[in-house]
Each structure stands twice: as structure tokens, then as C-alpha cells.
Structure 1
Amino acid sequence: MKADPRVEWFEHRDAEAWIHAVAADMERILAVELAIRGEARMLLSGGTTPAPVYEQVAVAPLDWPKVTVGLVDERWLSPRDSASNARLVRESLLERADVGHFEPLVREGLTLAESVHAANLEASHAADACLAVLGMGNDGHTASLFPGSADLDRVLASDQPYAALDATGCPVAGEWPLRITLTPAGLARTRHRLLLLRGQTKREVFERALAGDDVRELPIRVALGLGIEPLRVHWCP
């Protein structure tokens, strides 16, 4: 990986080493935040890639009742659905650690617009997150910022932490095109950003992202050059 001041690149020999390293990085960031502020807030992504990391960090000796956990994005479906990010985070972390507070994005009984409003209201009253854990698809999307989606320009320009996005027609969105996603403005409020990558294909996509600047082509570029801290990228084959 070519040196880039926007990125700290961590390469691990295999999936087991990757899981332990990412969990240790998350624990370190949360421990520092708890020591300085007495509380911590982090935003997590869903998917199968980070689940074992969350299970590992759940056993960390942290003051979990003082930790708030939110989401980077969410599909517009029931929080009990097997494809829900909230369910994945609940099963891999919240049921294993005594977390103080969880901020869902889908609010049962509310419309999509009302859920987005509630998420933005909660985020506006919360402390800035010390940590956001991001993933990236083979199409270069991160959170639910899908290249080619009709709503992408509006979401990229939003000054709110969260926005609704319709990814109809974007193959990677699958059968859940309606999403609630962290915006670039929301991501900019996080102090540390971890990007979790596995496999050669994603490494090549990320290297292509570093070589250009068109966010609409590869939305992962929104995570580059934010704030003082570089994007911390953990990769394994």
C-alpha cells in the first residue's frame, strides 16, 4: 500500500489476527475517551464482516454502562429482522456487554421520515462519537452511500447527521433499497474512523479510491481527509 497521509494502513496475516487487532483498536479508543470524558459514544456498521469483532470487544474490561452505541446505517425493516443492523449489533455486542444506551435508526411505529428526524434529534443532543466503524462494498459504497443512487447528491450535501436514501436500481442494495444512512456531515463529527476490509478485491477498490477524488464514483472517499485523525484501515486477505 502506497503511503498516504489520509490513511493509517494495518495489514494482518489472517482473519483471526485481524479480529483481535480491530477489537484492540476499538477498546483503546473507547478507553481513552472514557478516561478523558467519563463517557463514550460509538457508531457501528452491520454486516457479517464486523460481527466477530464486536463479539471480541464485548469482553473488553471497559466501563460499558457509560458507553452509548449507535449505528452508521440501517435498512428500512423491522429491528427484529435477521437482516437488520440493529439485530446484528444487539446479538454480537449489546447482549454480551452491559452497554448504557443504544440509539436505533428504525423506530417502530414511525415512518421513514419520522425515524430520520428522530435519529437527527438524538444525534444533535448527543456527544460527538469518538469512533465510527465503517465497511466498504466492492462497489466502493460505505454506510448506505451507494454509487448511482438517485438520492446520493442530496445525501452528500446534507448538513444533518442522518438522511434517508433510496438505492433502488443499485444491485448491492439488494432487496432493501430504502435506507437510513450517516451523511458525510455526520461522519465528520466522529473523531476516529476505522475501516474494516477483507480480501484482495476490496484492497484494490480502496487503492483505486485513494487515486481519485470523485465521491460519487466511490463514496468511500467521503471518509478520507476528515478531521485531524487519519482513516485507520485494517485489512487481511
Structure 2
Amino acid sequence: MRDDTEKDQHRRVRSFVRRPGRMTRAQERALSELLPVFRVPPQTDDLRLAFDRQRPLVVEIGFGNGDALAWMAANEPERNFVGIEVHEPGVGRVLKSLKSRGLENVRVAVRDAVEVLRDQARPGTLEEVRIYFPDPWPKKRHHKRRIVQEAFLALVADRLCPGGRLHLATDWQPYAEWMLEQLAASGHFENVGKPFVERPPWRPQTHFERRGARKGHPIFDLLYRRIQA
């Protein structure tokens, strides 16, 4: 259990705005039958304990329909993955995929990412945090809703091990520039890119990326390394 000071520090940071979505019967069945198998237990205060085998731990925040999460877990069996998502149709979809692929190195958390990192991740225990195509909230009055903010970055940095990686991707150039500014100001990270990197081999092309490409949006990958304290 985290202390009240840390909870107050991150109380106003929120990683999502819940939007309604229509679920298929198969997704509803997956939530009912498979979520108990793959879910991070809500009472767990150490994400590592959700797995039978201990491996380096990667967290993907906002996995959407889950295609990238399942692909990464299948292609990186030497790592454990925790995917965080509140959109239940996407959760149902990825649960079906995990079952059909026989993947045992993935768990899902159906709650706000800030709460998961704050209450269920121990400091210095994450090898990497991946955030692909988060909502850019393009209107200025909504910028406060963007997940990449000072307090959130401080929380991520605390949970990453020294030298751990933060990998972000967006198809919205103003948000990419915002990310660069926020990360430069945080003081916790070193930019591996100049300032961006080519899409690394561990990130598959996502649904949102393809949609952005159809609109003519360039893709920006940002890769950072946690500076050792």
C-alpha cells in the first residue's frame, strides 16, 4: 500500500477518459471467462507477483484493441507484459487473442494506469513502459488531459529501473513536440533519439498508426532512457 503523500501527489493525474463502446458476445464471454485468468489481481501491490515466472517486466499503457500487446508478448517471450486498458471491448478482444495464442507472459489491468503504477508497481521494478498513440487531446483547453505530464513522468521514472526505457509513439506532431518538452523538463530521462527514432523492431504497426497514415500523418517514435539517480 502506498502512503497518502504519494497518492495526493498523483491524485489529479488521470490516464484516460472512459468512452462507451459496443461489445460483441464473444468479447463479453471473454471478459467473463478469461479475465479472471489473465487479470492482475486488484489487491496485488507488486506487478511481478502476477506471474508464475519472473522475467523483465514491460508495461503497455492503453493497449487499445490489444493486437500490439499480443504481438509483442509472442515475439518477446523472455519478458513479462502487463497491458493496461479500461475500454472493455478492447480488453475482451485481447483476452481472446491471448487464449488462442497460448500466451502465458501477459496480464491485463482494467483500471487507470496512474492507479496501477502508483499502487501496484514497486519502485525500480519495470524494465520498460510503452505508450503507443495515446489520445492527443488537440484542443488547448484539453491539454491538461494528456497523459504525458510532469507528475505522470515522475511516477513512471520512479517505477522504472535505472536505465529502464520509456517508449512513446504518436501520429500528432504537436503532441510529439509536447512530449519532447515535457520529457526534457522532467530531468529523469535521457533522449536516445535525435530527437526521434525509427520505429524499433519490437513495436508492430498499430491500428491507430495505420489510421493516421491513411490521413497523411507522419509517425513519431520517442525513446528515452531512465537516468540513474
Which category of TM-score, normalised to the shorter sequence, fits these structures? 0.3 to 0.5
Task: Return the structure number with greater relative CO, CA threshold 8 A, min gap 6.
Answer: 1
